[in-house]
Amino acid sequence: MSDVRKDLEEFEDAESSPAIPAATLAAGAARRPSRWERRRTDRELWMLAWPTILSQVLASAVSLIDIAMLGRLGSEALAAVGYATQFFMLAQSIQLAVGAVCVALMAGAIGGGDELRARRALAAALVLAGGIAAGMAAPVMLMPGALLRLLNASPTTIELAIPYFQLTLGSSLLLACSVTFESAFRAAKNTRTPMWIAGAVTVVKIALNALLIFGLFGFPRLELVGAGIATLLSQGVAVGLFVWASRCGPSRRVMRLGARDFKAVRPLLGEAVRLSLPAVGERAAIHMAVLAYFAMLAPYGSVAIAAYTVGVRILSFSWIPGIGFSVAAATLVGQSLGAGNTALAVRSGWRAVRFAFIVSCVLGVFYALGRLPLARLFTDDPLVINALDPFMLVLALAQPLLGIHFTLGGSLRGAGDTVSPMLASIVGNWVLRVPLALLFVHVLSLDVIWVWLTLVIDHLARAVWITWAFRRGRWLRGSGAGIRHLA
């Protein structure tokens, strides 16, 4: 994948490109990988995945502790956090899309032995991520109330949410830097440095939460404002640690940026933008759908909104294996294609999805059986707990599907195919999830459980689409990998 421009031209019209000939598949099927090769791939996947999984556990733990602390302020505070969080998740998701492009560009360059190109790809990703973050933060600073009214928030909730909303979205500039650096470390097969930084930031965030939300040890009791300040300060700590590690750590050869790297970003910036457009489109499609979905919960009241806010964060732990194996697969696929080893690229994707599926099934069962005890850990409101029961069960059922499309989607992005995941997201969200939710809420006036069930339909559609896209192999540019036989 040393020539990203050629890859891009092929993926921009992925739906109309010719299929890989059957003779090509037959040639690739001539030799199955040995048991030693499969075990080596599995070892490398685990070595890349487990630090990412632990990092995500820490991030989810911080999110849950946030909710556990703010849940003591009442359902109105939780609803305010839920509204603001929808926009923050959109900003975060778009930054993750740019991070995925950073992995594709850097992993391909590193696999091809081009360290200079890898550094300049990082510089281009930082410029792009910073520009997007500034563009998203500006309207939040200027008209936060108008944005919250788009989600049908009540005047009381808007007044409560605005300071928290502005602080968390204001931190998105810092988030852009930390997400991009984290992606760069992972592209270089260094997932342990982001893990250690995540641990340090977790400690800082929890300590600041305790001090500023509840006013411990003489600090002012700031409640939601305190939570927003804690988010802003902890993001600053993350950026500082990533910059230090990029200049002093073992990955510094491909990450120690200088003024020359930023001056030479124009060619790679164009490639990054064009690869990012489908990735950002995917994230925008998902989160605009989530915003529309979230707005449709308004007729069910603040209890349903609070249940959604708490339930998603509780079950975020079970999404983590898919994220971890997605990162590992993206790195291995990108570096393998950069080195010209298409067989390893295909094998990495299939082995990663097997691991993610098994672990997601186990965690889904755990969350389904323990949903009520878990709910009581994070809220003492009996109405919210009752509303969480069916919602958490539905999300637990969707976990294996998430594991599939997260992991194979990561493999495709690592190869530079950002179009297929985007199309899967559009189908799942805008062809199925949102229209069905509208039908159930505004036409049939059904119970909220029917709105929850549209989540399963969405993730099923995405899992089917992504699996089909990966199996047909157009992301390999007709390289003849023998897709069925290399897993």
Quick: pLDDT tens for 164-222: 888 888 888 899 999 999 999 988 888 889 999 999 998 999 899 889 888 888 788 88
444 class by beta-carbon count within 10 Å (0-12 exposed, 13-18 middle, 19+ buried): exposed
Over residues 327-348, mean pLDDT: 86
Q: pLDDT by residue (tens digit) across 86-108?
A: 788 778 888 888 888 888 889 88
Structure tokens at 161: 């949410």
Tell me what pLDDT residue 269 has. Answer: 84
Enumerate the H helices of 215-298 as residue ranges: 224-248, 252-255, 259-263, 266-295
Tell me what pLDDT residue 169 has. Answer: 85
Tell me what pLDDT residue 29 has. Answer: 36
Task: Out of 31-40, 186-195, 283-292, 402-411, pick the least confident.
Answer: 31-40
Tell me what pLDDT residue 237 has. Answer: 94
Tell me what pLDDT residue 33 has. Answer: 62
Q: Which of 144, 150, 145, 149 is nearest to 169 (CA)?
A: 144
Over residues 333-348, mean pLDDT: 85
Tell me what pLDDT residue 3 has. Answer: 42
For the chain, the structural domain boundaries read: 35-485
Tell me what pLDDT residue 477 has. Answer: 65
Phi, psi for 170 (deg, rounded to 5)? -65, -25
HEC profile for 348-372?
Answer: HHHHHHHHHHHHHHHHHHHHHHCHH
Residue with tokens 């098994």: 358
Alpha-carbon distance 246 to 253, whole Å? 9
Q: pLDDT by residue (tens digit) across 41-69?
A: 778 888 888 888 888 888 777 777 877 78
Return the higher-pLDDT residue of 290 and 360.
Answer: 360
% of the chain with per-residue pLDDT over 90: 15
Alpha-carbon distance 334 to 416, whole Å? 8
Q: What is the DSSP annotation of 6-37?
A: HHHHHHTTTTTSPPPPHHHHHHHTTSPPPHHH
Report residue 461's pLDDT band, with 50, 70 and 90 as the boundaries: very high
Q: pLDDT by residue (tens digit) across 262-296?
A: 888 887 888 888 888 888 888 788 878 877 887 77
Return the higher-pLDDT residue of 116 and 379.
Answer: 116
